[in-house]
């Protein structure tokens, strides 16, 4: 018998394909990461991330307005402070770079959802995500500093805090501190399964946060492990995380899928700087079609199970969706 099933029937026209599509990109899916630099008076393009800029505090309100007009609803903030020290204390000052940027964005676009990255590496002279004893990154003494930073972000107007340091127990400490300070309604998006990845290279240039010695493998996850990611996710949910993140995204689609199948909270995937720069470089060199490759990548991340994608491609994708170049 010639087959009665012909899968090509449902692929015949664009309308039919759109009707039966299982995965769709929507403007609501994206969180756009931005870098704010306290030392700048004009925006500066980031060499390792073509099309991305470090923004002065004074210009971020206008940029948020432009992004909002494109349909962007959520941003994730990283700060480059005026000065650094051993404990990263410039990260919890009420007039710190992220705190001022949050206020500026909220003033320009009150409805913009502002997520702040909570970590010490951009603020410490040694570039590690926690405080040191010799060359050891200490877990427990770091927790209170992260909590101070998170509270000052929320006091400045942040809607969600996102700890990315990978210290054990930080979600519980942040939750307790937020609740005590009167911020019981502020959600925590934890970077739950964050791998020690080579794909953060361009970010570290952008944020000037490369470790001065050693690497992050004593706190970020081993690339070889997937079951361990589930333990990280379980632990963060147990401590009170509202959403969990897998990071990076593209080389970890299996982890995204396993996390999605295990938990019922929103799953976020971080399409990191190295993933972005690879496609930008290949596109600029004419090696592949940037629009198609970006759309395919982000669709694959959603298909793997992510509800939300943190991506530097967000403004481009919003424009391409509006223009009907991708769907
Ligand atoms: C801070 C932090 C990093 C990233 C997000 N938060 C760098 C790192 O852990 O070294 C990387 C994001 C990216 O590569 O786009 N700890």
Whole-number Å distance between alpha carbons of 33 and 137: 26
Q: For helices 314-322 and 57-70, give the axis angle rounded to 10 degrees.
A: 30
pLDDT tens track for 215-256: 999 999 999 999 999 999 999 999 999 999 999 999 999 999
Lookup: tokens for 63: 């940029």
* Pocket lining: 116 vs ligand 1, CB cutoff 6 Å: no
Residue 206's pLDDT is 94
Which residue, 116, 86, 264, 246, is CA-closest to 178?
116
Whole-number Å distance between alpha carbons of 266 and 112: 19
Whether residue 202 is preceded by a cis peptide bond, meaning omega within 30 degrees of 0, is no
Nearest residue (CA) to ligand 1, atom 11: 200
Among the listed residues 84, 247, 280, 302, the single catalytic one is: 247
Is position 194 annotated as part of the catalytic site?
A: yes
Mean pLDDT calculated for residue range 39-52: 98
Q: Tell whether the model's pLDDT for residue 1 goes beyond 90.
A: no
Residue listed under structure tokens 């240039």: 205
pLDDT tens track for 117-151: 999 999 999 999 999 999 999 999 999 999 999 99
pLDDT band at 274 (very low <50, low <70, confident <90, very high): very high
Is position 84 annotated as part of the catalytic site?
A: no
* Pocket lining: 236 vs ligand 1, CB cutoff 6 Å: no
Question: Does an H or E element contain 193, and which?
Answer: strand 189-194
Lookup: tokens for 30: 């994206």
| CA 210 to centroid of chain Cα atoms | 17
**Cα 309 to ligand 1 centroid, rounded to whole Å:** 15
Residue 2's pLDDT is 87
- Residue 186 near residue 155, CB atoms below 8 Å: no
Nearest residue (CA) to ligand 1, atom 6: 164
| Average predicted confidence (pLDDT) for the chain | 97
């Amino acid at each position: 018998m010639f087959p009665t099933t012909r899968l090509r029937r449902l692929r015949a026209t664009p309308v039919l394909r759109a009707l039966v599509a299982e995965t769709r990109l929507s403007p609501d899916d994206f969180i756009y990461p931005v870098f704010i630099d306290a030392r700048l008076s004009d925006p500066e393009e980031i060499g390792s991330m073509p099309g991305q800029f470090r923004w002065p505090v004074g210009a971020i309100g206008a940029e948020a307005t432009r992004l909002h007009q494109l349909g962007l609803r959520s941003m994730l903030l990283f700060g480059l402070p005026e000065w650094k020290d051993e404990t990263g204390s410039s990260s919890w000052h009420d007039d710190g770079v992220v705190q001022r940027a949050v206020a500026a964005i909220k003033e320009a676009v009150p409805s913009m959802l502002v997520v702040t990255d909570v970590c010490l590496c951009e603020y410490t002279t040694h570039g590690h995500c926690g405080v040191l004893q010799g060359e050891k990154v200490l877990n427990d003494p770091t927790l209170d500093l992260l909590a101070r930073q998170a509270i000052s972000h929320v006091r400045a107007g942040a809607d969600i805090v996102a700890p990315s340091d990978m210290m054990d127990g930080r979600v519980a400490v942040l939750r307790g501190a937020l609740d005590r300070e009167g911020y019981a309604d502020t959600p925590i998006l934890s970077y739950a399964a964050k791998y020690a990845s080579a794909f953060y290279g361009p970010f570290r240039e952008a944020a000037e946060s490369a470790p001065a010695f050693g690497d992050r493998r004593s706190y970020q996850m081993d690339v070889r492990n997937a079951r361990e990611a589930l333990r990280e996710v379980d632990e963060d949910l147990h401590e009170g995380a509202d959403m969990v993140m897998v990071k990076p995204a593209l080389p970890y689609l299996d982890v995204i899928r396993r996390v999605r199948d295990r938990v019922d909270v929103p799953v976020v995937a971080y399409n990191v700087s190295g993933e972005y720069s690879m496609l930008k470089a290949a596109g600029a060199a004419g090696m592949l079609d940037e629009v198609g490759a970006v759309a395919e990548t982000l669709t694959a991340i959603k298909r793997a199970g992510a509800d939300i994608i943190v991506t530097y491609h967000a403004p481009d994708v919003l424009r391409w969706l509006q223009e009907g170049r991708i769907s």
